[in-house]
């Protein structure tokens, strides 16, 4: 597994490098492991209903999750360590036989699609401010110390999502260049639960041509799904440990119609298929 470090040779007296224009060095220094238990249920189409559901319990751990500017190598839970992940999708064609042709035309050709996604929280790495090693010139970050007498989280209705990471649960290390005992990825963020629903109606003209009317609702229960959390003690007690965006913003900022993790959104569309 690749690990990229950033060095400042100019701080060591190397005049070939100007101030702030350092050196990236990529080496095969890290490794990762992943263990999981996976369960799947698959109901094939029968009487208009088909269902696919999957559950995964897993544990991923590594020295560094991303190979983009790794500041230190420390074996711990991966940044993408999702312990519980449940995914389900179902589709139901609303059938029935009607003696009245008009009633049949109104009630037939309706379908309902549902999608449920639920996963546990991702890790949050608590950090102190960045430093530059005086010997190697490498950019480094260090973890603080854990204050055992303080709870890791503060809970209550005044916090977004009902909780935040406790600023007073950590203290900065007093020895420069020494990592604290809090360790990597000690805390957790928020879970992500979303249900999507689609109601559709086909209007067939013949065997090949028809119209389809769709009404779609994403995150239909409007469940709050939070994203990034301020994880540096340099943020200060007033901001540290708080979430400041939603998951869809963290993933790229697209509308929740196109990206999981946003507020409830709805759309209606009409499609001609042939």
| 148-196 residue pLDDT tens | 999 999 999 999 989 999 999 999 876 766 788 998 999 999 999 999 9
Domain annotation covers residue 186: yes
Dihedral of alpha carbons 21, 26, 30, 32, sign: positive
Residue 141 resides in a domain: yes
Q: For residue 142, tell me if it sits in a domain.
A: yes
Residue 20 lies in a domain: no
Domain count, the chain: 1
Report yes or no on 7 lying in a domain: no
For residue 80, give the DSSP letter: T
Segment 89-102, tens digit of pLDDT: 999 998 777 777 77
| Residue 203, in any domain of the structure | yes
Question: Is residue 118 a part of any domain in this protein?
Answer: yes
For residue 182, the enclosing domain spans 35-273
Cβ partners under 8 Å of residue 42, min gap 6: 51, 52, 53
φ/ψ of 160, rounded to 5, equals: -60, 130
5 found inside a domain: no
CB 92 within 8 A of CB 49: yes
pLDDT at 185: 93
């Amino acid at each position: 597994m690749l690990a990229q470090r950033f060095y400042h040779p100019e701080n060591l007296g190397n005049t070939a490098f100007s101030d702030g224009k350092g050196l990236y060095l990529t080496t095969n220094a890290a490794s990762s492991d992943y263990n999981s238990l996976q369960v799947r249920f698959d109901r094939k189409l029968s009487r208009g209903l088909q269902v696919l559901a999957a559950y995964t319990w897993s544990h991923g751990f590594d020295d560094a999750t991303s190979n983009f500017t790794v500041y230190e190598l420390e074996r711990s839970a991966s940044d993408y360590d999702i312990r519980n992940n449940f995914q389900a999708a179902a589709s139901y064609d609303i059938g029935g036989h009607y003696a009245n042709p008009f009633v049949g035309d109104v009630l037939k050709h309706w379908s309902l699609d549902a999608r449920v996604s639920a996963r546990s929280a991702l890790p949050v790495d608590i950090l102190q401010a960045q430093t530059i090693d005086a010997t190697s010139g490498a950019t480094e970050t260090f973890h603080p110390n854990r204050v055992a007498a303080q709870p890791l989280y503060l809970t209550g209705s005044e916090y977004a999502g009902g909780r935040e990471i406790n600023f007073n649960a950590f203290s900065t290390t007093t020895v420069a260049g020494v990592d604290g005992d809090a360790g990597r990825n000690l805390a957790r963020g928020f879970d992500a639960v979303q249900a999507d629903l689609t109601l559709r109606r086909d209007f067939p003209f013949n065997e090949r041509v028809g119209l389809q009317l769709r009404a779609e609702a994403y995150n239909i229960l409007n469940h709050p799904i939070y994203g990034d959390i301020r994880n540096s003690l340099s943020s200060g007690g007033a901001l540290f440990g708080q979430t400041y965006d939603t998951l869809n913003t963290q993933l790229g900022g697209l509308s929740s119609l196109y990206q999981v993790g946003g507020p409830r959104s709805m759309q209606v569309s009409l499609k001609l298929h042939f």
